[in-house]
């Protein structure tokens, strides 16, 4: 299996989708948004799926979708909770370089509205801060490359990610 893909991981609101689409254009790569694949397969929005089947079953669906991706020369934007399933992360790692879009909590908090409406896989009683603190070490664990961002304009973020990939592609 070729390792010619770039897989973006990070918190909801970190810019995976927006940066991913722009980065794919800059690199001349294809683009896959795994959340969009889930929505298309299930015929429902993420928040509806989570409300209907629960967090754990959603995480299983997310892992299955990400484990089934077969691509080369694509930027793949994953859902923020993909890091909860080791098998999915191993498969993504085999597909390419995993890039963690790391933003400070304050930036993420300012970007996100209602987490339930957004379709965030949140444990009962968890706040956004709890989620951030739980996920950050997992993103770092799986990342080949960590790109620290601070809420810059998208064009600057794309440049920062592209620079981090020099010598990797």
Residue with tokens 């909801």: 12
Q: Directed axis angle between helix 34-42 and helix 46-53, to 10°?
A: 60
Distance CA 143, CA 123 (A): 23
pLDDT tens-digit profile of 7-25?
999 999 999 999 999 999 9
pTM of this prediction?
A: 0.94
The pLDDT value recorded for residue 1 is 41
Q: Reading across the β-sheet that carries 30-33, which strands appear in turn? A: 30-33, 74-77, 5-9, 96-102, 145-148
Rounded to 5 degrees, φ, ψ at 138 are: -70, -40
In contact, 139 and 80? CB cutoff 8 Å:
no
Q: Directed axis angle between helix 55-67 and helix 46-53, to 10°?
A: 130
pLDDT tens-digit profile of 55-92?
999 999 999 999 999 999 999 999 999 999 999 999 99
**Which tokens sit at 40?**
């298309």
pLDDT tens-digit profile of 91-141?
999 999 999 999 999 999 998 877 767 778 888 888 999 999 999 999 999
CATH of 5-163, one of 3.40.50.2300, 3.40.50.970, 3.40.50.300, 3.40.50.720: 3.40.50.300
Annotated domain spans of the chain: 5-163
The pLDDT value recorded for residue 135 is 96
Q: Is 55 exposed, middle or buried (0-12, 13-18, 19+ CB in 10 A)?
A: middle
């Amino acid at each position: 299996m070729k390792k010619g893909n770039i897989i973006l991981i990070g918190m909801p609101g970190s810019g995976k989708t927006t940066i991913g689409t722009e980065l794919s254009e800059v690199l001349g790569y294809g683009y896959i948004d795994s959340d969009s694949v889930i929505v298309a397969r299930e015929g429902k929005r993420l928040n509806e799926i989570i409300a209907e089947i629960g967090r754990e079953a959603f995480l299983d669906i997310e892992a299955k979708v990400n484990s089934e991706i077969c691509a080369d020369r694509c930027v793949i934007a994953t859902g923020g909770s993909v890091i909860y399933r080791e098998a999915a992360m191993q498969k993504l790692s085999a597909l390419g370089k995993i890039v963690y879009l790391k933003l400070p909590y304050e930036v993420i908090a300012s970007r996100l509205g209602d987490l339930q409406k957004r379709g965030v896989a949140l444990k009962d009683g968890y706040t956004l801060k709890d989620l951030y603190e739980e996920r950050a070490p997992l993103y770092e664990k799986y990342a080949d490359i960590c790109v620290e961002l601070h809420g810059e304009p998208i064009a600057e973020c794309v440049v920062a990610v592209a620079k981090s990939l020099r010598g990797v592609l």
